Structure 1
Amino acid sequence: MTDSQRRQRILALTPWERLAEHWERLGIRPGYRCVRGPEVGMAMVRGRMGGTGRAFNLGEMTLTRASVQLTDEVVPDAPLGHGWVKGRHARHAELIALVDACAQRGDWAVAIDEGLVAPLDAALAVERDAHGRQAAATRVDFFTLVRGE
């Protein structure tokens, strides 16, 4: 998984309020314009039986996408960023696209990875661990049950 893919995954999984709060704290305020969207559409979700079987169409999910271009660049090929998020949250997709565009600038990339992506990834890991412990607490080990004969 590339840095860009990892960043996109973390930003899409992070709740909007937390992402916006961390972005504000980072202090990067570029000018930008929306090139595409935000647009709400549908995406086909595919599944596999047992994780390894043949792929099948599970159903559709709502998806919002956006593309932005930085406008405070003096070069003709200003960075273009893209963002996708499940659901219908247009501002979330637009902010992900903005972060993606800003991360393409060398002077902002390190600040974004260390000051935004790393803390959000750590918060997601804590939540994942808490959900895992909660699910593990409800686990039933059927091999410990004794049949009465």
Structure 2
Amino acid sequence: MISHEPDRQPGRKRVADLLAKAEMSELNATWADVDPKPAVQPIRGPETGLVMIKGRIGGGGSPFNLGEATVTRATVRLETGTVGHAHALGTDREKVQLAAIFEALWQEAETQSLVEERLLKAIEARLAAADSQKAEETAATRVDFFTMVRGED
């Protein structure tokens, strides 16, 4: 069931987005810092399935089905009752399970700063560095065209 209620915790979309882009090494390194480890009850998954990717002709025209992508999702409940959800492209079930745990930990006041400072900021820094490198590589191949004006003949 899709909820149309506004997000009760601002920033949760950002957290879900960053956790979907997390690397397993980042998740494992932060998980090692969580002490004590919370008791976690799986609610759903992790399970893998397909989603249809839609495109638009010219970026804004008529929609069409571009193809399918593999996605893995998981939902967990911490011993405190907090529920965490995670989705990620691919089939890495362990990654999505850990991401769901971190999403739940981010919602709790006691562990939110650990998740924010130790994990989410590291993911943001890695993504910003990758974007910067890509921009530099793209700029190196840029060609500036100009028109030469001839003098009056």
Q: Which has the larger radius of gyration?
A: 2
- Matched length: 140
**TM alignment of 1:50-61, pairs within 5 A:** 50-61=58-69
Matches within 5 A, 1:62-141: 62-71=70-79, 73=80, 78-141=81-144
1:19 to 2:22 alignment: no
- The alignment partner of 1:62 has SS state of strand
Query: Helix, strand or coil for the counterpart of 1:8?
Result: helix
Indicate if the aligned counterparts of 1:14 and 1:124 stay in contact, CA closer than 8 A: no
1:66-110 deviations in Å (ceiling 9; x for gaps): 111112x2xxxx011111010000011101100111112122123
TM-fit CA distance, 1:144: 4.0
- The structural deviation recorded for 1:123 is 1.6
Distance in 2 (CA, whole Å) between partners of 1:130 and 1:108 is 32
- Cα distance between partner residues in 2 of 1:26 and 1:49: 46
Aligned equivalents of 2:92 and 2:147: distance in 1?
Answer: 47
In 1: Cα distance, 2:113 partner to 2:59 partner:
36
Deviation at 1:17, TM superposition (A): 1.7
Write the distance in 2 (CA, Å) between the matches of 1:22 and 1:140.
43
Give the TM-score, by structure 1 length: 0.82
Cα offset for 1:27? 4.3
Tell me the SS of whatever aligns to 2:126: helix
Kindly provide the amino acid, as one letter, of the partner of residue 138 in structure 1: T
Matched to 1:105, the amino acid is: E
**2: CA distance between counterparts of 1:112 and 1:126?**
20
* TM-score when normalising by structure 2: 0.80
Query: How big is the alpha-carbon RMSD for the aligned residues of Structure 1 and Structure 2?
Result: 2.1
**1:7 match:** 15
Distance in 2 separating the partners of 1:120 and 1:23: 14
